Amino acid sequence: MASQGVGFDPEEFSRLARETGVRLRKARKPLIIVGLVIVAFVALYGSYYQVEPDEVGLVTRFGRFVRTCNPGPHAKFPFGIEQVQKVPVQRQLKQEFGFRTARADIQSSFHKDEKTEAESVMLTGDLNVATVEWIVQYKISDPYKYLFRMRDVEETFRLMTEACMRTVVGDHSVTELLTVGREAIAAKAKELLSNMCKLYDNGISVQQLILQDVDPPEPVRPSFNAVNQAIQERERAINEAWAEYNQEIPRARGLAEQKIQAAEGYAIDRVNRAKGDAQRFNALEEQYRKSPEVTRTRIYLETLAAVLPTAGKKLIFDEKAKGILPMFPLGPTQEVKP
Amino acid sequence: MSRRTLVIVGVFVVLGLATLSSALYTVSETEQVIVTQFGQPMGEAVTQAGLHVKMPFAQEANVFDKRWLEWNGNANQVPTRDKKYIGVETYARWRIANPLLFFQRLRDERRAQSRLDDIIDGETRNVIASHDLIEVVRTTNRAFEKGEEAEDIMEAESMRQIELGRDKITRLILGRVSQVVPDYGIELVDVQIQRVNYIESVQAKVFDRMISERKRIADRHRSEGQGKSAEVRGKKERELKVIESEAYRKTQDIQGRGDAEATAIYAEAYNRNRELYRFLKTMETYHSTIDKDSWLVLSTSTDVFRYLQSQTAASGGKAAAPTR
């Protein structure tokens, strides 16, 4: 429906008033004049209206929509000929689901009862139950449609939002809802709701849909916490095992390295000693070759000279005197000291 | 002007005003009007908003709403095809599409609401009862994102693929209702399932199931923790063994190499004069084998004591090996 744009004409209005005034003055009834003044006052009062900065005014004449007014002072036909409905198009409106803000303040207080509880309880896609609280922020994008297309737009919008949210939650598992899926669910629900608003053509545009508290239902909550606890336990067990691993493996690596180094030391030791011995032997052998007889005898006698004194008992006998041997006293004796 | 004429004029003015007000009627943006003459509808509905004229006194303007109107269903307890008792709340939006028919069949909105109760509730029941619960809950067959728990813990039922889904089911209800309501001059613009909930007694069972499901998940986490930590310990054991045995292998290898090289060096050196080596080694052995507990029984015929008997006897057999 297009505005006809037929404005209020003040000149015509004052002319009419003047003529009526003249006619009545002829009746010469002062009372009527007083009455006329009152009527004029009411007419003036009824023709003035003001539109606040965040609103627009929709004017209907005899019920028919004629024009939209922007913020500021305006005039209209009085006596119900023209009527104004003001719609807050600039204001961001909000609906709450699953709770109500009882008092918005620095520390807002919230209110919940059976009714809000019924709003928040819903079935998830894996046939579990969860309570979801959320808010919707919206604006009136088309005041004409908002006013005239639907009776009780706000309540309908509530129902639409609930239906959308449940549709989306019904397509997610309870775990997704409680953890990873929150944002996706909110985005999906907003999209669905926006589409539905377009379909319903209700003049509302959805600004934001934000999930608030999402919880498993009260009786089930402890078991959900138990799962979290179990996850912690699992992580702890694994961490402990890794801690042990990290304690022992580097140490074992160090020990292994130590053994290897020691073995290398041993090998080098062996080789060096062998080389030393060989060099010594070679040197000796070179000299020995020059005069083997003498060297040999010298070494032999030197050895005996060194060795013989260390022996505990020494018995030197002549092969010809064979009789001595049987008299040789066996057993320990103290008489001969080395 | 006499008093009588004044009265007559007055009467005419009043009559004229009454006629005028009866002849004029307004239709607002949200309304549509059926004009009836002595109860008989006259022509089509007036849907254009504004000031309209009718025949005074004889005709009457019957106002109907033009907007989308509410219909909110009550929570219906319905068993689904798989015998789950659920409460279903639906809402619908409808409008008076044919005011004349609406006026003839139902006269007013109150009667329309009660008729809609019958029809929509009935169809909702029918449709819900002939489908499984999962069809009402889910919309698509999207796979759940697997979080911490494994798939086999979830109810097999909830993992079932759906045939229709919530959206198609509401379209089904809408379609069925839309076949009936045009008879009443009504157009059903939308039906939505607003809420689906388990009824109280079922809900308790569902909670039990959820609790046991969570318990299973928790147990799984715990045993997974034990399993994983055992795995890590096993890995540790294995690596310890690897490290130790590797070290053993390397040390043996290195030592062996050292021994081999030393042996080769010795062999190479001693091979140059085996006799000398044997002699020297024997001498060395004397050093290490003879101590104070050893008895030496020596004959005067040995090299060293040879001269005890005769200073000259030492002329022969000196090259012979020393006493062993």
**What DSSP character marks residue B153?**
G
pLDDT in tens, chain B (324 residues): 577 888 899 999 999 888 888 888 888 888 899 888 888 888 788 888 888 888 888 888 888 998 999 999 888 888 988 888 899 999 999 999 888 888 888 888 899 999 999 999 999 999 999 998 888 888 888 888 765 555 555 555 666 788 888 989 999 999 999 998 999 989 999 999 989 988 888 888 888 988 888 888 888 888 988 999 999 999 999 999 999 999 999 999 999 999 999 999 989 888 888 888 888 888 888 888 887 777 777 777 777 777 766 665 444 444 444 443
Write down the ipTM of this complex.
0.71
Contact A126 B233 (CB under 8 A): no
First to last CA, chain A: 142
The interface residues of chain B toward chain A in range 180-219, judged by CB-CB distance below 8 A, are 189-190, 192-198, 203, 206-207, 210-211, 213-215, 217-219
Q: B296 to chain A: which residues are within 8 Å by CB?
A: 308, 311, 313-315
Helices and strands, counts by H and E, chain B: 8, 10
DSSP per-residue string spanning B104-144: HHTSSHHHHHHHHHHHHHHHHHHHHHTS-HHHHH-SS-PPP
CB of A41 within 8 Å of a chain B CB? The answer is no
Residues written for chain B = 324
Say if the Cβ atoms of B218 and A149 lie within 8 Å: no
**H helical segments located in B271-302:** 274-289
Find the CB nearest B262 among A148, A199, A270.
Answer: A270
**pTM across the whole model:** 0.69
Amino acid letter for position B156: A
Q: Do A263 and B167 touch (CB under 8 A)?
A: no
Cα distance between residue A66 and residue A1, in whole Å? 9
Put the strands of the sheet holding B59-65 in their side by side order. B40-41, B31-37, B59-65
Return contacts of B104-113, CB within 8 angstroms, 24+ apart: B104/B41, B104/B185, B105/B183, B105/B184, B105/B185, B106/B184, B106/B185, B109/B64, B109/B65, B109/B69, B112/B184, B112/B186, B113/B71
Q: CB burial class (10 A; 0-12, 13-18, 19+) of residue A193?
A: buried
Which among B310, B70, B63, B290 is positioned nearest to A306, based on CA atoms? Answer: B290
A-B CB pairs within 8 A amount to: 354
Q: Cβ–Cβ of B68/A200 closer than 8 Å?
A: yes
Following DSSP, what letter does each residue of A219-242 receive, concatenated?
A: GGHHHHHHHHHHHHHHHHHHHHHH
Nearest neighbour of A172 by CB, restricted to B30, B144, B233: B144
Nearest chain B Cα distance for residue A106, angstroms: 34
How far does the CA of residue A330 sit from the closest CA of chain B (Å)? 11
User: Cα–Cα distance between A274 and B260 in angstroms, integer?
Assistant: 10
Under 8 Å between Cβ of B62 and B25 = no
Pairwise CB contact (< 8 Å): B29 & A64:
yes
Contact criterion met (CB < 8 Å) for B240 and A252: yes
Of A60, A180, A300, Cβ closest to residue B147:
A180
pLDDT tens digit at each of 338 positions of chain A: 444 444 556 677 777 777 776 665 565 667 888 888 988 888 888 888 888 889 999 988 888 888 888 888 888 888 878 888 889 999 999 999 998 888 887 788 888 888 888 889 999 888 889 999 999 999 999 999 998 889 889 999 999 999 999 999 999 988 888 888 889 999 999 999 999 999 998 899 999 999 999 999 888 889 888 988 898 999 999 999 999 999 999 999 999 999 999 999 999 999 999 999 899 888 888 888 888 888 888 888 888 888 888 877 777 776 665 555 544 555 555 444 44
DSSP B158-222: GGSPPSS-HHHHHHHHHHHHHHHGGGGTEEEEEEEEEEEEE-HHHHHHHHHHHHHHHHHHHHHHH
- Cα dihedral across residues B213, B215, B221, B223: positive or negative: negative
Contact criterion met (CB below 8 Å) for A176 and B176: no
Residue pointed to by tokens 């969570």: B214
Q: How far apart are CA A317 and CA A321, in angstroms?
A: 7
Q: Any chain B CB within 8 A of the CB of A26?
A: no
On chain B, the residues whose CB falls within 8 A of the CB of A242 are: 232
Residues 167-186 of B with CB under 8 A from A: 167
